[in-house]
Amino acid sequence: MRKLLDSLFSYRLRALLKKEFSETRHDRKLMFSMTVMPVVQLTLIGFALSAAVTNVPLAIVDDSRSPESRELVATLTESKSFRLAGYYSSVDQLGDAVSRGKADAGMVVPYDYARNLARDRQTTIQFLLNATNANTATISRGYAESVIQRFNTGLRNQGIHIRIQPNAGSDFARRGQVQLQPAFLYNPGLVDSWFIVTGVLGLLLILDSSLICSAAMVREREAGTLEQLLMSPASSSEIIVAKIMPLFLLLFLMMLGSIGVLKLAFRVPFHGNIFLLLMGGALCILSGISIGTVIATFSKSAQQAQLLCFFVNPPLSALSGALNPVEAMPKWLQPFTVLNPIHHFATIARGATLKGSGAMELWPSFLGLLLITLALGSLSVWRFRKQLS
Amino acid sequence: MRRIAAQARKELTQIVRDWRTMALALALPVFLLVLMSNALSLTVNELPIVVQDFDGSTASNDFIDAFRASITLHVVSWPVDKTAEAALASNAARAVLIIPFHFGRDMARGINAPVQFMVDASDANTAKLVSAYASQITSAYAQQVGGAQAAPILTAIRLWFNPGLSSTKFFAPGIFVLAISMFPPLLAALAMAKEGEQKTILQVYVSSISAHEFLLGKIIAFMAVALAECLVMSLLLFTSFGLSFAGDPTPALIATVLYVFCVAAFGTMIGAIIPNQAAAMQAVAFGGFLLVYLFTGLIFPIENIPAGLRWISDLVWGRYYIEIVRDALLQGGGWAAMWFKVLIIGVIGAIFYTSAWLGMRRMQVKA
């Protein structure tokens, strides 16, 4: 056993580890950016990026000016989805308000609204939506439809029945109605931030580990001490392992801190096995480190490495499914997510926390992460060796 | 004037020489625009759902066909011996439609038939969209078979400015602004920090060029870079993204000139205050990328930011420009809606320029 340990952690490796650990420990800026920054970023992003559609400003043109129309307006604006942005006297003014951004929705109640209802006739109200943001428009349209549907049911219960049935089949009276009963699993309160923060955790792990690792790898080359290391009896894999170890431990600590933020600030439920999450995180950090190592082998200075990160990171984060569902991407881009460690980690993080999935469901993501790490790791070792010779 | 031009020419020569900075200046913004405006969408297509039909009647088949016909949902097959939750847990589907036994019989007898729709709500936004689609499909189906009672109030919903609900039309202008907010200041900050790092700033001090001429020369060079980026990206916006000016384009054009001045001055200011290339780069990444990404309403509306943090977005220059660009390309509100925002961009640009000038004076004292 001792022999095995000795061969694993040879004297050389231990000496190298000692050097790297003390170098890392003394880098105040690095320590700061590893501990404080991720927590700040996670909190900012989690709170600032929210897809929730609430309090959509609704402008009203009420040509009916009746108690009935005011009741409709009140029903809409009392819901959390819409808030009253103001009354306008004509459709033109309302259109103007919407294009100036004073309101994002508008409702026009026709002058014969109350009269039609009193006479059991169908009326049509017009509902305008600013659709520049497709997502908000779709969701607020859903809100408007469901509020008005409920309002209709209320009217029917009050005894208003429309006499002319537009689509009445011969046996319509005998047909039942389909009642769709939606059930929201894993997140019945529909908390938006849970999806974002579980995705951003992976995003931060990959971005920070690749950035920090590439900087650490390049530093020796910049300072010209790489040659000295190579002259030492240590093998190149020992050098790499010793370089990676302290970074890995630091990043792992950072991940633990971020998981704490997830739990305490955002109250993400942990239904699954925390061990799975930690294992996925460890693999994710390793793949981030290997991305950083590959970047480092392509650059001569810390500045070049950072510039290269600018080329690699945006596509990685855009094609990850961390902030938006993969199904929302164009079809031809979707297969690329398989190559993205952030995507796999996001699946693991959401599975292990929100969904309570086990290893049975999550093994494909673990396999994906492992393969990416191995492929990038061997690429960087190969590039590193080639540069040395 | 001649000295300003010479300074600008020197900066541009330095940019053209290094392929990395050239790529950063021109290729990366275009790449980012194409990639991110396509990938950032939130509205889903062909979301996989599983149907479990315990009835197997004609009525249930008709109902399922209504879901099959949807382009938003995509019915995938799922083994009957596995539970519905397993489909959600293994990410095979995002929702499950469960039709109970006796569905067809109840419908024919005039009894209301409940149907369960289980949605994976780990992504709350998508869950809301999916359940909204499902209830639209259901009510359309009810109208078709005639079970629905006629509603007293009908809603005629009009979608303005973007009737096709295309997400790229919304995101592409935002990514355009993000790219302009990020790359020119990055280059400017690097160039300015380099002067401080390599002490070439001393040569500037001993030459006859004044601080304003030096700064303006630098800023004009990076404004040229930014305007070139604008040109390339707006070509893309107008051709492959199918956008065009919705109204009076002058507010957007004037705002663009002011905004490129603003971002070039921002980069120069960072470089003057932080004469270290790596640190300056991080500062620009924070101000040019993270702030613009989070606090401008690029992806999600600003109103969604909690009130305690929302004031930050009032200070972020990109926010005003995003609103102007979106207005020009989608809404067409014109000067009446936008003059204030154009003004603010100019003010923020002037603040950046002044700070850059002050930072340069301090650099002189230090060097």
CATH number of the structural domain spanning residue B79: 3.40.1710.10
For testing the chain B interface, which of A28, A68, A178 should be mutated: the one with the most B CBs within 10 Å?
A: A178
**Which tens digits make up the pLDDT trace of B132-157?**
888 888 888 887 776 556 677 777 88
Encoded tokens for B236: 């893309």
ipTM here: 0.80
Q: What number of other Cβ atoms are within 10 A of residue A235's Cβ?
A: 13
The verdict on B27 and B82 lying in the same domain is no
- Split into its structural domains, chain B has a count of 2
The DSSP call for residue A1 is -
The answer to whether the Cβ–Cβ distance between B167 and A139 falls below 8 Å is no
For testing the chain A interface, which of B153, B159, B192, B299 should be mutated: the one with the most A CBs within 10 Å?
A: B153
- Give the angle B298-B302-B304 at the CA atoms, nearest 5°: 115
The pLDDT score that the predictor gives to residue B91 is 84
Question: Is B94 within a domain?
Answer: yes
The verdict on B244 and B188 lying in the same domain is yes
**Which tens digits make up the pLDDT trace of B179-203?**
999 889 988 998 888 888 888 888 8
The verdict on B95 and B14 lying in the same domain is no
The verdict on B34 and B122 lying in the same domain is no
Asked if A223 reaches chain B (Cβ–Cβ under 8 Å), the answer is no
Q: Name the closest residue on chain B to residue A311, using Cα atoms.
A: B28
The Cα of B293 is separated from the nearest Cα of chain A by a number of Å equal to 9
The pLDDT score that the predictor gives to residue B20 is 72
The verdict on B271 and B254 lying in the same domain is yes
**Which tens digits make up the pLDDT trace of A281-293?**
999 999 999 999 8
Q: What number of other Cβ atoms are within 10 A of residue A379's Cβ?
A: 15
Question: Is B156 within a domain?
Answer: no
User: B101-110, B153-162, B214-223 — which is least confidently predicted?
Assistant: B153-162
The answer to whether the Cβ–Cβ distance between B303 and A55 falls below 8 Å is yes
Question: Is B152 within a domain?
Answer: no
Domain boundary among B112, B145, B178: B145
The verdict on B284 and B176 lying in the same domain is yes
The verdict on B225 and B343 lying in the same domain is yes
**Which tens digits make up the pLDDT trace of B322-334?**
999 988 888 877 8
Question: Is B157 within a domain?
Answer: no
Range of the domain at B70: 47-145
Model's pTM, two decimal places?
A: 0.83
Asked if B221 reaches chain A (Cβ–Cβ under 8 Å), the answer is no
The verdict on B56 and B129 lying in the same domain is yes
Question: A-chain residues within 8 Å CB-CB of B146?
Answer: 167-169, 171-172, 175
The Cα of A248 is separated from the nearest Cα of chain B by a number of Å equal to 22
The answer to whether the Cβ–Cβ distance between B154 and A125 falls below 8 Å is yes
The verdict on B32 and B89 lying in the same domain is no
Mean predicted confidence (pLDDT) in B201-228: 88
The pLDDT score that the predictor gives to residue A388 is 67
Question: Is B122 within a domain?
Answer: yes
Mean predicted confidence (pLDDT) in B291-319: 85
Q: Is the pLDDT higher at B240 or at A225? A: B240
Beta strands A105-109 and A123-130, pairing class:
antiparallel
Spans of chain A below 50 pLDDT: 168-172
Asked if B301 reaches chain A (Cβ–Cβ under 8 Å), the answer is yes
The pLDDT score that the predictor gives to residue A2 is 61
Q: Which domains does chain A have, with CATH numbers?
A: 14-50+190-388 (no CATH), 56-155 (3.40.1710.10)
Domain boundary among B101, B116, B145: B145
| Residue pair B267/B184 in contact by the 8 Å Cβ criterion | yes
Is the predicted pLDDT of residue B285 greater than 50, yes or no?
yes
Helix (H, G, I), strand (E, B) or coil at B109: helix
The pLDDT score that the predictor gives to residue A171 is 47
- Restricting to A residues 107-126, those with a Cβ less than 8 Å away from any Cβ of B are 117, 120, 122-126
What is the rounded CA–CA span in Å between residue A185 and residue B84? 11
Is the predicted pLDDT of residue B5 greater than 80, yes or no?
yes
The answer to whether the Cβ–Cβ distance between A124 and B153 falls below 8 Å is yes
Q: Calculate helix-pair angle for A341-350, A274-297, nearest 10 degrees.
A: 170
The pLDDT score that the predictor gives to residue A177 is 73
- Restricting to B residues 304-323, those with a Cβ less than 8 Å away from any Cβ of A are 304-306, 309, 323
Q: Name the closest residue on chain A to residue B246, using Cα atoms.
A: A99
Going by C-alpha positions, the residue among B353, B352, B319, B311 that lies closest to residue B338 is B319
What is the rounded CA–CA span in Å between residue B260 and residue B262? 5
What is the rounded CA–CA span in Å between residue A380 and residue A298? 10
Question: Is B161 within a domain?
Answer: no
What is the rounded CA–CA span in Å between residue B37 and residue B31? 10
The pLDDT score that the predictor gives to residue A320 is 86
What is the rounded CA–CA span in Å between residue A131 and residue A140? 10
Question: Is B150 within a domain?
Answer: no
Asked if B1 reaches chain A (Cβ–Cβ under 8 Å), the answer is no
The verdict on B288 and B139 lying in the same domain is no
Q: What percent of chain B has pLDDT over 70?
A: 98
The Cα of B357 is separated from the nearest Cα of chain A by a number of Å equal to 25
The verdict on B106 and B202 lying in the same domain is no
Question: Is B318 within a domain?
Answer: yes
The verdict on B35 and B73 lying in the same domain is no
